Structure 1
């Protein structure tokens, strides 16, 4: 196994899909990967930001602001809990009706659930039914997100030049910081342009409508790739076909969980620099929401640059070494969390900016750390489930746990939470190394 822990590409040049078919260029796959991931994460971050700025007042007006935010974070986690089930369901759909049907249904469901939230009346109109419908739409988002896996990141890894594997691997990770950047910018514009009453009353709904429009554009961009004869042949030749979930877990389940925990430090940090600071500062009142969103947008740019840099770094020192080194740096960073987040606005801004910078480099290589461990026929489903469980274990409950523990027991527990993710990452990487040595 290579020290970079990336899938061994069969060719140094664009993959040829067989006689009579055009070659598949990694650059073309990369466009589909970035567009697809950015649209999906935009949906998720629109919900995440709204769960801090809007949902406590609209859906939980009967509770104090802290409790209302925690309730919103509970529903926030529902999508991550539903993702593995969505992956299993849509893998079955693909086996029966094909990849294009699967992707179309999944993105239509994702857009429908997102627009459903935009049209949803608040608690004052529907009472408890509003909360139930919000939870329902959030679960649908998670199922759809799990079903939107198209295999393009795996195909990209297989067809990337050998000496640039990590560079191409980071392209799929760019979607998350780009998605947050667009979502944060849209909320900042609306929050700045509207009065508080208008923003809470109707302004917050526009990002959800925009999410639906973006999904439509992304759907056609991705279908242009996945339904063509060339890409279908390339996916089939690379054995990137759906496998039954039970068979997957029975045969390769240990690789899924090793891969999930290997990325834990990065995924835990993700929501602790995007959603948690916004909620903590909104409750603390130490600086204005617009100021926080502005700093986070700058941080998202740093994360994009860090993600790009991670490809260059990992190609030189190895993917696994990069992930381990950044996990250690995240551990050091976590020790300063109480001092920075409980300090002045400048200290809080430093936490956000440094956190985003670390996130970019670590998250850029967090995906597919142990992909090469999967048998070829299991890589398509294995990569999807590994990502699902990494988000579930690392990120789903991060805002809820961090805000709840910090509000009741102190910010030191955020450090403990991050350190636990660091320990899990380092242990998983160590186990993975021993498994490779034994092989």
Structure 2
């Protein structure tokens, strides 16, 4: 078994060959906080774009289109960021396995900050016409590349510093950055809107939260630069196990394992982005909910999401994540059946219940999926392999979800098609999770297909 790898379904036990964090220079707690801070800022930038795409960008960059078509076009630019994420995953994953986790994570944070800051500075359609959406798409691609390097790397950095028996807990810290970034983005969005008023905010005030990214990223860099390199990567260097093409080597775990892992995690991403992004445009344009009310409700749900992650990851460390992940996958499916009917009532209390339910259920699978993906691969190719699975799942799930949901809504005239879309993708993930855990049953070892020595010194 590769050093430090978890047998799926079992509480984590470090291999006797795994280095123990906490030695000289190792600071697991500081590293966990640094990865949380970094991912929070990265997701702040990414979610800020999603909120603006749902509520602002159709008017600023696609004014010649109808409201429905403009929203679809805005969500298409949102999807572009997800399409760019695998490129970031491939590039940052390659160098993360060759030169280290820390350096690549610093670059990814800078890249994300630059992209977001410049989005706040580009002219709108009325000023430069066609070039406005072109620049928006280009900067969205930069955002996607930056986040593609962040997702897998931050999880590895924290998990590989984790003390014995706490790998799920520490792998969960970067996952907490997702709801934390959403909360930060929505709070700043709401405060700016409240201070300026709807007219000024829609005209130019929406730029302020994007320009603020520069300051937030500078703070994040100060925190991130103080952490030490991953002990697992240091061990790879010491054993001279750095390979020339880590991505190709990571694929040797086999197609069944890779495919099932991808299927298992795709629904969480799809459901999360329908809840966080599509529901904003649907609720305001179709159901007449107040914009501030919906943003506040989604923010409250994100706070619940954030707060419950440590509870679920501790449970996974003590009892294993197999049953928890499958139960969480089933719970998401069930709640998707109820989600839009609750929103469609027009009742504010039931709408809040629908959104809080998402905030309670989504973290059950989200908090451990990064660790499940990472533990598929040995340390010397873990960044590359994890990036491919994570970013592919993000495209198939989250990146396309708001656009597909909008298209289904426009074609069918109701949310029924969106509900069926979510139910189908959740069912696929549930079947994938069950099959994955049967492929690697309790008590078995990880696949031996990836051999650390096969490309050593090449």
Q: 1:48 to 1:61 in 2, by over 3 A?
A: same
Matches of residues 164-203 of structure 1 in structure 2 within 5 Å? 164-203=166-205
Q: How far did 1:95 drift?
A: 7.1
Show the counterpart of 1:327.
329
Post-superposition CA distance 1:1-51 (Å, at most 9, x none): 63436875346998259xxx7152421221121111111101100100010
3-state secondary structure, aligned to 1:225: coil
Show the counterpart of 1:307.
309
From 387, 390, 414, give the equivalent of 1:387: 390
Show the counterpart of 1:142.
144
Q: How far did 1:280 drift?
A: 0.5
Matched, 1:363 2:366: yes
Q: 1:6 to 1:313 in 2, by over 3 A?
A: closer
Show the counterpart of 1:396.
399
Show the counterpart of 1:2.
7
CA contact (8 A) 1:276 1:402 kept: yes
Q: Which has the higher mean CA deviation after the structures are superposed, 262-271 or 364-373? A: 364-373
CA contact (8 A) 2:26 2:228 kept: no
CA contact (8 A) 1:77 1:396 kept: yes
Matches of residues 36-435 of structure 1 in structure 2 within 5 Å? 36-92=38-94, 102-148=104-150, 151-226=153-228, 233=234, 236=237, 244=245, 246-248=247-249, 250-252=251-253, 254=255, 255-344=257-346, 345-409=348-412, 410-435=414-439
Cα distance in 1 for partners of 2:164, 2:385 equals: 22
From 430, 433, 440, give the equivalent of 1:436: 440
Q: How far did 1:61 drift?
A: 0.6
CA contact (8 A) 1:6 1:165 kept: no
Show the counterpart of 2:448.
none
Q: 1:119 to 1:302 in 2, by over 3 A?
A: same
Cα distance in 1 for partners of 2:32, 2:345 equals: 41
Show the counterpart of 2:454.
none
Q: How far did 1:253 drift?
A: 6.1
Q: How far did 1:317 drift?
A: 3.7
Q: How far did 1:323 drift?
A: 1.3
Q: 1:374 to 1:76 in 2, by over 3 A?
A: same
Q: Which has the higher mean CA deviation after the structures are superposed, 387-396 or 411-420? A: 411-420
Q: Which has the higher mean CA deviation after the structures are superposed, 409-418 or 219-228? A: 219-228
Cα distance in 2 for partners of 1:253, 1:398 equals: 28
Q: How far did 1:232 drift?
A: 6.4
Cα distance in 1 for partners of 2:98, 2:159 equals: 26
Aligned-residue Cα RMSD (Å) equals 2.9
Q: Which has the larger share of helix?
A: 1
Q: How far did 1:244 drift?
A: 2.8
CA contact (8 A) 2:19 2:232 kept: no
Stretches (4+) displaced over 6 A: 11-14, 95-98
Q: How far did 1:375 drift?
A: 3.4
Cα distance in 2 for partners of 1:78, 1:199 equals: 25
Q: TM-score, normalised by structure 2?
A: 0.86
Cα distance in 2 for partners of 1:358, 1:25 equals: 31
Unaligned runs of 5+ in 1: none
3-state secondary structure, aligned to 1:272: helix
Q: 1:92 to 1:338 in 2, by over 3 A?
A: closer
Q: Which has the higher mean CA deviation after the structures are superposed, 260-269 or 243-252? A: 243-252
Q: 1:433 to 1:94 in 2, by over 3 A?
A: closer
CA contact (8 A) 1:155 1:238 kept: no
* Total equivalences in the alignment: 435
Q: How far did 1:245 drift?
A: 5.9
Q: How far did 1:222 drift?
A: 1.6
Q: TM-score, normalised by structure 1?
A: 0.89
Unaligned runs of 5+ in 2: 1-5, 446-458
3-state secondary structure, aligned to 1:366: helix
Cα distance in 2 for partners of 1:234, 1:28 equals: 20
Q: How far did 1:108 drift?
A: 2.6
Cα distance in 2 for partners of 1:277, 1:190 equals: 21
Q: How far did 1:430 drift?
A: 2.7
